[in-house]
Structure 1
Amino acid sequence: MSTVNASMTVIGAGSYGTALAITLARNGHDVVLWGHDPKHIATLQHDRCNVAFLPDVPFPDSLYLESDLATALAASRNILIVVPSHVFGEVLRQIKPLMRADARIVWATKGLEAETGRLLQDVAREALGTA
Protein backbone atom coordinates (compact mmCIF):
# COMPACT_ATOMS: atom_id res chain seq x y z
CA MET A 1 0.00 0.00 0.00
CA SER A 2 1.27 3.46 -0.78
CA THR A 3 1.15 5.99 2.02
CA VAL A 4 -2.41 7.02 2.82
CA ASN A 5 -3.54 9.89 5.01
CA ALA A 6 -6.60 8.21 6.48
CA SER A 7 -9.32 9.42 8.85
CA MET A 8 -9.28 6.10 10.70
CA THR A 9 -7.25 2.93 11.01
CA VAL A 10 -9.33 -0.13 11.91
CA ILE A 11 -7.38 -2.90 13.63
CA GLY A 12 -9.10 -6.22 12.98
CA ALA A 13 -10.30 -7.52 9.60
CA GLY A 14 -12.90 -10.02 10.79
CA SER A 15 -16.61 -9.61 10.14
CA TYR A 16 -17.17 -6.84 12.70
CA GLY A 17 -14.03 -4.86 11.85
CA THR A 18 -14.76 -5.14 8.13
CA ALA A 19 -18.36 -3.98 8.62
CA LEU A 20 -17.28 -0.97 10.67
CA ALA A 21 -14.53 -0.08 8.18
CA ILE A 22 -17.01 -0.23 5.29
CA THR A 23 -19.48 1.94 7.20
CA LEU A 24 -16.83 4.55 7.96
CA ALA A 25 -15.64 4.54 4.33
CA ARG A 26 -19.20 4.87 3.03
CA ASN A 27 -19.62 7.92 5.24
CA GLY A 28 -16.82 9.88 3.65
CA HIS A 29 -13.76 8.69 5.56
CA ASP A 30 -10.54 7.28 4.16
CA VAL A 31 -10.06 4.10 6.18
CA VAL A 32 -7.17 1.67 6.51
CA LEU A 33 -8.23 -1.84 7.55
CA TRP A 34 -5.46 -3.91 9.11
CA GLY A 35 -5.43 -7.67 9.51
CA HIS A 36 -2.73 -9.88 10.97
CA ASP A 37 -2.82 -12.46 8.15
CA PRO A 38 -1.15 -11.18 4.95
CA LYS A 39 -2.86 -13.87 2.84
CA HIS A 40 -6.29 -12.82 4.13
CA ILE A 41 -5.54 -9.15 3.44
CA ALA A 42 -4.29 -10.00 -0.08
CA THR A 43 -7.55 -11.89 -0.72
CA LEU A 44 -9.63 -8.96 0.54
CA GLN A 45 -7.64 -6.61 -1.69
CA HIS A 46 -8.08 -8.87 -4.72
CA ASP A 47 -11.81 -9.47 -4.16
CA ARG A 48 -12.57 -5.95 -2.86
CA CYS A 49 -15.04 -7.57 -0.45
CA ASN A 50 -14.94 -9.95 2.49
CA VAL A 51 -16.30 -13.06 0.78
CA ALA A 52 -16.28 -15.11 3.99
CA PHE A 53 -18.29 -12.68 6.12
CA LEU A 54 -19.89 -10.03 3.87
CA PRO A 55 -19.91 -11.51 0.35
CA ASP A 56 -22.38 -9.07 -1.19
CA VAL A 57 -20.88 -5.89 0.25
CA PRO A 58 -18.18 -4.37 -1.97
CA PHE A 59 -15.46 -2.23 -0.43
CA PRO A 60 -15.68 1.49 -1.14
CA ASP A 61 -12.72 3.00 -2.98
CA SER A 62 -11.79 4.86 0.21
CA LEU A 63 -11.15 1.59 2.11
CA TYR A 64 -7.49 0.56 1.98
CA LEU A 65 -6.14 -2.80 3.15
CA GLU A 66 -2.89 -3.33 4.99
CA SER A 67 -1.11 -6.26 6.63
CA ASP A 68 1.84 -4.24 7.94
CA LEU A 69 0.91 -2.91 11.37
CA ALA A 70 3.38 -0.02 11.38
CA THR A 71 2.14 1.20 8.00
CA ALA A 72 -1.49 0.92 9.07
CA LEU A 73 -0.86 2.87 12.27
CA ALA A 74 1.13 5.59 10.49
CA ALA A 75 -1.86 6.31 8.26
CA SER A 76 -4.07 7.87 10.93
CA ARG A 77 -4.07 9.23 14.45
CA ASN A 78 -7.53 7.67 15.00
CA ILE A 79 -7.39 3.97 15.80
CA LEU A 80 -10.43 1.72 16.13
CA ILE A 81 -9.65 -1.64 17.75
CA VAL A 82 -12.00 -4.43 16.64
CA VAL A 83 -10.38 -7.68 17.75
CA PRO A 84 -11.64 -10.55 19.93
CA SER A 85 -11.40 -9.80 23.65
CA HIS A 86 -8.99 -12.69 24.26
CA VAL A 87 -6.31 -10.92 22.15
CA PHE A 88 -7.23 -7.33 23.05
CA GLY A 89 -4.38 -6.76 25.51
CA GLU A 90 -1.79 -8.37 23.26
CA VAL A 91 -2.86 -6.25 20.29
CA LEU A 92 -2.61 -3.08 22.39
CA ARG A 93 0.88 -4.07 23.51
CA GLN A 94 1.83 -4.63 19.85
CA ILE A 95 0.53 -1.26 18.69
CA LYS A 96 1.85 0.83 21.60
CA PRO A 97 5.41 1.29 20.26
CA LEU A 98 4.13 1.84 16.71
CA MET A 99 1.42 4.43 17.39
CA ARG A 100 1.79 8.04 16.41
CA ALA A 101 2.42 10.42 19.31
CA ASP A 102 -0.97 12.06 18.70
CA ALA A 103 -2.90 8.76 18.48
CA ARG A 104 -6.43 8.41 19.79
CA ILE A 105 -7.74 4.91 20.48
CA VAL A 106 -11.31 3.68 20.72
CA TRP A 107 -12.50 0.12 20.62
CA ALA A 108 -15.52 -1.86 19.57
CA THR A 109 -14.24 -5.06 21.14
CA LYS A 110 -16.94 -6.78 23.15
CA GLY A 111 -16.71 -8.66 26.41
CA LEU A 112 -14.19 -9.06 29.20
CA GLU A 113 -10.62 -10.28 29.28
CA ALA A 114 -10.96 -14.06 29.02
CA GLU A 115 -8.34 -15.11 31.58
CA THR A 116 -9.11 -12.60 34.33
CA GLY A 117 -12.60 -11.28 33.67
CA ARG A 118 -11.25 -7.72 33.80
CA LEU A 119 -12.96 -4.87 31.99
CA LEU A 120 -11.30 -3.92 28.71
CA GLN A 121 -10.68 -0.38 29.95
CA ASP A 122 -8.50 -1.84 32.70
CA VAL A 123 -6.68 -4.04 30.20
CA ALA A 124 -6.10 -0.98 28.00
CA ARG A 125 -4.74 1.09 30.88
CA GLU A 126 -2.28 -1.65 31.77
CA ALA A 127 -1.22 -2.38 28.19
CA LEU A 128 -0.78 1.25 27.20
CA GLY A 129 0.56 2.50 30.51
CA THR A 130 -2.04 5.25 30.91
CA ALA A 131 -3.76 6.45 34.04
Structure 2
Amino acid sequence: MISDIFSQIFTSNSGLQTFITVCLIILCLYPVIGALFWFFGSLSYRFLKKGRKETNFVELAPDEQPMITIMIPAHNEEVMIEETIEYLATMLNYSNYEILVINDGSTDQTLPILQNLQEKYDKLRVINILKN
Protein backbone atom coordinates (compact mmCIF):
# COMPACT_ATOMS: atom_id res chain seq x y z
CA MET A 1 0.00 0.00 0.00
CA ILE A 2 2.71 2.50 0.98
CA SER A 3 4.88 1.33 -1.89
CA ASP A 4 1.96 2.00 -4.27
CA ILE A 5 1.66 5.56 -2.97
CA PHE A 6 5.38 6.21 -3.40
CA SER A 7 5.46 4.63 -6.86
CA GLN A 8 2.55 6.85 -7.96
CA ILE A 9 4.26 9.95 -6.58
CA PHE A 10 7.55 9.31 -8.32
CA THR A 11 6.18 8.09 -11.67
CA SER A 12 3.18 10.33 -12.36
CA ASN A 13 4.48 13.75 -11.24
CA SER A 14 6.99 16.13 -12.74
CA GLY A 15 10.34 16.70 -11.04
CA LEU A 16 9.17 19.81 -9.21
CA GLN A 17 5.96 18.16 -8.01
CA THR A 18 7.94 15.15 -6.81
CA PHE A 19 10.37 17.41 -4.94
CA ILE A 20 7.53 19.33 -3.29
CA THR A 21 5.74 16.11 -2.35
CA VAL A 22 8.88 14.64 -0.79
CA CYS A 23 9.45 17.88 1.15
CA LEU A 24 5.86 17.80 2.43
CA ILE A 25 6.19 14.16 3.49
CA ILE A 26 9.40 14.98 5.37
CA LEU A 27 7.75 18.03 6.91
CA CYS A 28 4.80 15.93 8.11
CA LEU A 29 6.81 12.95 9.34
CA TYR A 30 9.62 14.86 11.08
CA PRO A 31 7.61 15.81 14.21
CA VAL A 32 6.21 12.30 14.53
CA ILE A 33 9.62 10.65 14.21
CA GLY A 34 11.18 13.25 16.53
CA ALA A 35 8.49 12.65 19.14
CA LEU A 36 9.08 8.90 18.96
CA PHE A 37 12.81 9.39 19.52
CA TRP A 38 12.12 11.66 22.51
CA PHE A 39 9.58 9.21 23.92
CA PHE A 40 11.75 6.12 23.62
CA GLY A 41 14.84 8.04 24.71
CA SER A 42 13.13 9.16 27.90
CA LEU A 43 11.87 5.63 28.56
CA SER A 44 15.34 4.18 28.08
CA TYR A 45 16.81 6.80 30.43
CA ARG A 46 14.11 6.18 33.01
CA PHE A 47 14.51 2.42 33.11
CA LEU A 48 18.14 1.90 32.12
CA LYS A 49 20.06 4.84 33.59
CA LYS A 50 18.21 6.88 36.22
CA GLY A 51 18.93 5.95 39.80
CA ARG A 52 22.06 4.00 39.00
CA LYS A 53 25.19 5.41 40.50
CA GLU A 54 28.32 5.75 38.44
CA THR A 55 30.99 3.65 40.11
CA ASN A 56 33.85 3.99 37.68
CA PHE A 57 35.03 7.45 38.74
CA VAL A 58 38.74 7.84 39.16
CA GLU A 59 39.84 10.46 41.65
CA LEU A 60 42.43 12.77 40.16
CA ALA A 61 45.69 13.37 41.94
CA PRO A 62 45.91 16.91 43.36
CA ASP A 63 48.50 17.94 40.77
CA GLU A 64 46.19 16.79 37.93
CA GLN A 65 43.07 18.59 39.16
CA PRO A 66 42.12 21.64 37.11
CA MET A 67 41.81 24.92 38.95
CA ILE A 68 38.19 25.85 39.69
CA THR A 69 36.69 29.01 41.12
CA ILE A 70 33.61 28.87 43.31
CA MET A 71 31.93 32.25 42.95
CA ILE A 72 29.51 33.42 45.62
CA PRO A 73 27.62 36.70 45.28
CA ALA A 74 26.82 38.18 48.68
CA HIS A 75 24.54 41.06 49.58
CA ASN A 76 23.58 41.34 53.26
CA GLU A 77 24.36 37.67 53.92
CA GLU A 78 25.70 37.92 57.46
CA VAL A 79 23.38 35.13 58.59
CA MET A 80 24.60 32.51 56.10
CA ILE A 81 27.97 33.56 54.71
CA GLU A 82 30.16 32.18 57.49
CA GLU A 83 28.46 28.79 57.46
CA THR A 84 28.72 28.62 53.67
CA ILE A 85 32.42 29.49 53.59
CA GLU A 86 33.21 27.11 56.48
CA TYR A 87 31.45 24.30 54.65
CA LEU A 88 33.25 24.95 51.36
CA ALA A 89 36.66 25.36 52.98
CA THR A 90 36.46 22.22 55.11
CA MET A 91 34.13 19.74 53.42
CA LEU A 92 35.13 19.78 49.74
CA ASN A 93 36.85 16.67 48.43
CA TYR A 94 38.94 18.72 46.02
CA SER A 95 42.18 20.55 46.51
CA ASN A 96 42.76 22.88 43.55
CA TYR A 97 40.11 25.55 44.05
CA GLU A 98 39.54 29.09 45.20
CA ILE A 99 36.46 30.63 46.76
CA LEU A 100 35.64 34.04 45.36
CA VAL A 101 33.04 36.05 47.26
CA ILE A 102 31.73 39.23 45.69
CA ASN A 103 30.34 41.46 48.43
CA ASP A 104 27.84 43.63 46.58
CA GLY A 105 27.50 46.69 48.80
CA SER A 106 26.30 44.92 51.93
CA THR A 107 25.09 47.20 54.71
CA ASP A 108 25.25 44.56 57.44
CA GLN A 109 28.26 42.69 58.89
CA THR A 110 28.96 40.62 55.77
CA LEU A 111 32.26 42.35 54.94
CA PRO A 112 33.83 42.07 58.44
CA ILE A 113 32.82 38.41 58.59
CA LEU A 114 34.44 37.80 55.20
CA GLN A 115 37.60 39.64 56.24
CA ASN A 116 37.91 37.43 59.35
CA LEU A 117 37.37 34.32 57.26
CA GLN A 118 39.91 35.51 54.71
CA GLU A 119 42.57 35.51 57.43
CA LYS A 120 41.59 31.95 58.33
CA TYR A 121 41.40 30.45 54.80
CA ASP A 122 44.04 31.21 52.20
CA LYS A 123 41.81 29.97 49.35
CA LEU A 124 39.22 32.66 50.05
CA ARG A 125 39.28 35.86 48.01
CA VAL A 126 36.89 38.74 48.61
CA ILE A 127 35.95 41.44 46.15
CA ASN A 128 34.15 44.32 47.83
CA ILE A 129 31.86 46.49 45.72
CA LEU A 130 30.97 49.61 47.68
CA LYS A 131 27.66 50.45 46.02
CA ASN A 132 25.00 47.99 44.92
TM-score by structure 2 length?
A: 0.31
Larger Rg: 2
Report 1 or 2 for greater relative contact order, CA contacts < 8 Å, sequence distance ≥ 6. Answer: 1
TM-score by structure 1 length?
A: 0.31
